[in-house]
Amino acid sequence: MAGIYLHIPFCKRRCIYCDFFSSVDNTWRDKYIEALCRELEMRRAYIGGEQVETIYIGGGTPSLLTWQELDRIFSCIYKVYDVTEDAEVTLETNPDDLSISYVKALRKTSPVNRISMGVQTFDDNRLRFLQRRHTSAQVIEVVNRCREEGFENISIDLIYGLPGETLVEWESDLRVAIDLGVPHLSAYSLTYEEGTILWRMREEGLVYETDEELSAQMYFRLVNYLIEKGYEHYEISNFCLPGMLSRHNSSYWKGIPYIGCGAAAHSYDGCSRQWNVASIPCYIKGIVEEKPVIEREVLNLYTRYNDFLVTRLRTRWGIDLHLLRMEFGQQLYAYCLRMARRHINQGLLCMEDYNLRLTNKGVFISDSIICDLLWCE
């Protein structure tokens, strides 16, 4: 099995925290979609004829595309690739794009069966600060609208640790999210990425980062509250009701091959990674001339081992130690156990049924733990 990721880099405006590759110049849209479909055709052999069981359209803001533009893309995918009947097909959206007519068209004319919605917060003042285009009332209305039209698989994204945010305010966001009854929720700590408006505001002393202690309290409140409400914590930042995990994102964490099309999109075939140029004009020119502008990294044993650790330890399943030894040999197996011992003794990692995974205590500092287990030459 394999997955397809398509990057739609267009936005009406950029949020102050975003460092994903995107552009507010929508004049390229028609040529971009044409190039995207051409790339899908050119690269059909990349996944070696594997059936496609997940399709994810991300961005940017994919919901800026009309349903006719989406139809062009889906028609190409289903013509070129062998897509399973029960494929998970996700569209990232902004709430204010999901009008009644748009949701109806999505449901009736496209294979989209999963909506991923960028909400970030239910506080209208903070939404304006982040330069989001929607209000909290719109989110509630749109989630109910999607459900009425038959979309049951709905995910929302939230951000915690916003400037000046208190634990009580974060708890309020969580209560509203749970009251909405969405089956999937992703929550991320606000990061200050260099080059973003938010990063410059911090450098100028206009905003201040949430301190580590409060950020940790927010994270543990998130985890405990959602588990209390029946959600499964299946990945560091992801929660779902039973059976409603993101199949596409889970394939990344399980090392399943995927093809990424569009400017700045990444692909993985099990042996190498490659990524397209992060420029709309250069991307289109390369595809039109059948000389795609890409970079490629061939993965050796040690980089594959590191990838295995980074992705598996993010999940509730952790590292299957039998599989680790089989895939990477006794040396790296022994190395992993040796480096893990200190964290096991400190209660940050645990070993159960020959699986190594993060404990609740270890999840919040997962980056430093994972870093200790990586192979460094």
Considering the domain architecture, whether residues 316 and 236 belong to the same structural domain is answered as no
Look at residue 56 and tell me if it is in a domain. yes
Considering the domain architecture, whether residues 217 and 354 belong to the same structural domain is answered as no
Specify the pLDDT at position 282.
98
Look at residue 103 and tell me if it is in a domain. yes
Look at residue 267 and tell me if it is in a domain. no
Mean pLDDT, each 10-residue run in order, the chain (377 residues): 96 91 93 98 93 97 95 97 97 96 95 97 96 95 96 98 97 97 97 94 96 94 96 96 96 93 96 96 97 96 95 94 96 96 96 92 90 89
Look at residue 241 and tell me if it is in a domain. yes
Look at residue 8 and tell me if it is in a domain. yes
Q: Report the CATH number that the domain containing residue 333 is assigned in CATH.
A: 1.10.10.920
Considering the domain architecture, whether residues 204 and 59 belong to the same structural domain is answered as yes
Considering the domain architecture, whether residues 105 and 188 belong to the same structural domain is answered as yes
Q: Report the CATH number that the domain containing residue 18 is assigned in CATH.
A: 3.80.30.20
Look at residue 268 and tell me if it is in a domain. no
- Nearest CA among 52, 240, 221 for reference residue 154: 240
- Nearest CA among 343, 341, 342, 339 for reference residue 361: 343
Look at residue 273 and tell me if it is in a domain. no
Mean pLDDT, all residues of the chain: 95
- Domain termination site, one of 197, 232, 253: 253
Look at residue 184 and tell me if it is in a domain. yes
Specify the pLDDT at position 334.
97
Considering the domain architecture, whether residues 153 and 71 belong to the same structural domain is answered as yes
- Domain termination site, one of 253, 282, 317: 253
- Domain termination site, one of 187, 219, 253: 253
Considering the domain architecture, whether residues 79 and 208 belong to the same structural domain is answered as yes
Considering the domain architecture, whether residues 221 and 315 belong to the same structural domain is answered as no
Domain range spanning residue 307?
301-373
Considering the domain architecture, whether residues 238 and 321 belong to the same structural domain is answered as no
Q: Tally the domains of the chain.
A: 2
Considering the domain architecture, whether residues 235 and 313 belong to the same structural domain is answered as no
CB 120 within 8 A of CB 158: yes
Specify the pLDDT at position 376.
86
Considering the domain architecture, whether residues 99 and 210 belong to the same structural domain is answered as yes
Considering the domain architecture, whether residues 167 and 240 belong to the same structural domain is answered as yes
Considering the domain architecture, whether residues 227 and 361 belong to the same structural domain is answered as no
Specify the pLDDT at position 1.
84
